[in-house]
Structure 1
Amino acid sequence: MKSDRLLSILLLLQTRGRVPAHELATRLEVSVRTIYRDVEALSASGVPVYAERGRHGGIELLAGFRTDVTGLTADESRALFILAAQGAHAALGLDAALGSALRKVMAALPAPHRPAAEATSRRVLVDSTRWKGGPQRAADLDVLQDAVFADRRLRLRYRHSGAAAPSTYTVDPYGLVCKAGVWYLVADRSGTPRLFRADRVRSATPLADPVRRRPGVELADAWEVLRRQVEDRPGGIEVTVRVRRDFLDMFTRLTASALTALPEDDGEGEWVTARLEYGAVPHARSLLVFADRIEVVTPPEVREELAGAAASVTELYQSDGRAGA
């Protein structure tokens, strides 16, 4: 709608100052000609806005002009209060600040939208942590956050999974990402994007040197590359299993990260077939936790791996005496 677009232009100009017409057109997905017509409409309605043409020109509000209109719709109001439930701000030390900001937004909301916004904060809860994720080392985000916002390079002492000792790297941070309750530092190392789990950072030292990011690359761009590298990583070994029907729901929840497709339940018989993927044969040992509720059908090497592990456990518990006795 034109009214929404005019308000968007007004708020962008208040936030950004002078903005080129082509940038406004790109952000609002209209033509430059439409932007100039909208500027004329704003001016006619009493908003002190003007345009300067030329290489360094743009559209700008008269210095000192502000408006306190929020222009929030009912859905936009709900979205803000769902944001308050996500919890990531608490890890960044912004819990109190967000609460204060939302109270100010609530005061500025049109009266008809306030009940819906208040109800959202009571009726929608977003918990980003995994079920039974186990204890995790607390991530110290203070130094990482300071370096990200100060645009400084970082020297990290970082312990990789399974490594005996930390390694030292000099990196150029783009920002922090919270993925399923786990914080990551997205940074370039020697010009190549890298992902560092914040809870594996043993120490982080900001350097005097300014950050050296690749031109035109933003946090979202670097994260997309890294996310695809993880998700598109070549698969390992495919495992076909039979699952007892009465255990299917629990099995699906507990193996969600390894399932290659949801099991097709035709509602008949005692067993349902499912397929999973593991990085290597030994990784499939995690299936032993399901005991006789599942059976590996293929491949043979996984059946042998599980049979050998089960035999070792049986021998351990059938042996006379206790270990160390």
Structure 2
Amino acid sequence: MRSDRLLSIMLLLQTHGQLPANTLAERLEVSVRTVMRDVEALSAAGVPVYTVRGPHGGIALLPGFRTDVTGLTADESRALFVLLSDRAYADLGLGRAIGSALRKVMAALPAPHRPDADLASRRILIDPVRWRGGPSRPATDDLGVLQRAVFTDRRLRLRYRHGDDGRVRSYTADPYGLVHKAGVWYLVADHRGEPRLFRADRVLSAGVLDEPVRRRDGLELSEVWDVLRRRIDDIPAPVPVTVAVRREILGRFLRVHQADLAGPHVPAAALPEEAGERATVELRFRSLGAAQALLAFGADAEVLAPDELRRALARRAAEAAARYADGT
């Protein structure tokens, strides 16, 4: 709507000062001609907006024309800009609205608080979408150290225990920021120029160095996080598995294997009687070895495909039966 666009122009000018017409047009996704018509409409409505001609010209508001929100502390202003990930807003249908909302809030903040609020929006990201399983863990005592390095743009020295082999290694990291993912804090950083993800609860010790960060130019936290997230979420060549699950345990089965579901599934209570006593569930796993976890459900969950997995489960079941056959 035009009224929203007029307000956005005022807020952009309040926040950034003089801006070229083509910059405003790009931000608002309209033509330069439309921007100039909107500026004329603002001027006719009494808004002290004016244009400056020449190569260094643009559009600006008279000094002093701005609205402040009084009473906000620096920490309160920063808290307003600790954001959910773009993916979460998109899932809620609010992807376009968040940019407009942030412009309005930023323009209304007291001028001294704007730099810290802007920094928080680029250094802290909350991503509530679950990984492929795994319980949440409490934050490490060193989280404050990680946060200090993030906000002061300093390098970090870490002693870190890896989850796959338990080995402890030391790293000099160049942080982009922190991400809160499904109850766990992660440090997103470069190590020797390559993006790395460090779980905060596996940091054994952390120290902020006097050296400034050496991040790759032109990259923000959200971009590096998206690359690292995809390495985990986008399974290369997933193994599709079809399982027939008894209706009585379907709810528990879906909760356990929620991260492995290949698509939406109908709750057990909503299945028609003619569907039979078993429901067909489509899953995907990283490997056949990972899919063997289905054996935990015994005969309540029968793998229908692939045949290779059926044979592997049969071998494991036979081995277990033989182990317990003599009763010792």
**Which residue identity does 2:298 align to in structure 1?**
A
Q: Deviations over 1:195-239 (max 9, x none)?
A: 222222223322222223333222222222223332333134333
Counterpart of 2:23 in 1: which secondary structure? helix
Distance 1:55 1:303 in 2: 72
In structure 2, what is the equivalent of residue 173 of structure 1?
A: 175
1:286 aligns with 2:293: yes
For residue 231 of structure 2, what is the aligned residue in structure 1? 229
- What do the CA deviations read for 1:223-271 (whole angstroms, capped 9, x no partner)? 2222333233313433332211333233223212112234687742333
CA distance in 2, matches of 1:214, 1:40: 42
Per-residue deviation, 1:301 = 4.8
In the alignment, which residue of structure 2 is the partner of 1:76?
A: none
Between the two structures, name the one with larger relative contact order (CA 8 Å, sep ≥ 6). 2
SS in structure 2 at match of 1:296:
strand
Question: Post-superposition shift, 1:2?
Answer: 1.7
Question: What does residue 111 of structure 1 align with?
Answer: none
- Structure 2: distance between partners of 1:184 and 1:151: 17
Which blocks of at least 5 consecutive residues in structure 1 are unaligned? 70-79, 85-104, 109-126
* 1:270 aligned residue: 277
Scaled by the length of structure 1, what TM-score is found? 0.68
Identity fraction in percent? 57
Match of 1:302 in 2: 309
Compared CA separation, residues 212 and 17, structure 1 to 2 (3 A): farther
Q: 1:8 to 1:190 in 2, by over 3 A?
A: same
- Does the alignment pair 1:190 with 2:192? yes
Could you tell me how far 1:29 is from its partner in structure 2? 0.9
* Residue correspondence of structure 1 range 137-156 to structure 2 within 5 A: 137-139=138-140, 140-156=142-158
CA distance in 1 between partners of 2:145 and 2:51 (Å) = 42
In 1, the alpha carbon distance for the partners of 2:281 and 2:175 equals 41
Separation in 2, partners of 1:129, 1:27: 29
For residue 257 of structure 1, give the secondary structure of its aligned residue in structure 2: helix
Q: Distance in 2 between matches of 1:147 and 1:16?
A: 27
Checking the alignment, whether the CA contact within 8 Å between 1:175 and 1:185 is kept in structure 2 is: yes
Deviation at 1:26, TM superposition (A): 1.4
- Partner residue of 2:219? 217
Q: Deviations over 1:31-59 (max 9, x none)?
A: 12322332333233333333334454433
Q: Does the 8 Å contact 2:136/2:182 carry over to 1?
A: no
Q: Distance in 2 between matches of 1:233 and 1:134?
A: 20
Q: Greater CA deviation, 31-40 or 309-318?
A: 309-318
CA contact (8 A) 1:263 1:272 kept: no
2-side partners of 1:276 and 1:10: how far apart?
51
- The aligned residue for residue 30 of structure 1 is 30
Q: Work out whether 1:246 is the aligned partner of 2:248.
A: yes
Alignment partners' CA distance in 2, 1:172 and 1:52: 41
User: For the Cα contact (< 8 Å) 2:176–2:215, is it kept in 1?
Assistant: yes
Give the structure 2 partner of residue 60 of structure 1. Answer: 60
Aligned pair in 2 of structure 1 residues 43, 204: CA closer, same or farther (>3 Å)?
Answer: farther
- The alignment covers a number of residue pairs equal to 270
Residue 203 (str. 1) matches residue 210 (str. 2): no
Instruction: State the TM-score, normalizing by the size of structure 2.
Output: 0.68
User: CA 1:162–1:317 in 2, change beyond 3 Å: closer, same or farther?
Assistant: same
- Please say if 1:40 is aligned against 2:46: no
Matched, 1:21 2:21: yes
Letter in structure 2 aligned against 1:165: R
Partners of 1:192 and 1:222 in 2: how far apart?
Answer: 10
Contact 1:263/1:273 (<8 A) preserved: no
Q: Which residue of 2 aligns with 1:121?
A: none
Query: Does 2:8 align with 1:8?
Result: yes
- Unpaired runs of at least 5, structure 2: 70-79, 85-104, 109-126
User: In the aligned structure 2, how far is the partner of 1:212 from the partner of 1:58?
Assistant: 34
Alpha-carbon deviation of 1:143? 2.0
Distance in 1 of aligned mates of 2:207 and 2:35: 46
Mean Cα deviation higher: 233-242 or 145-154: 233-242
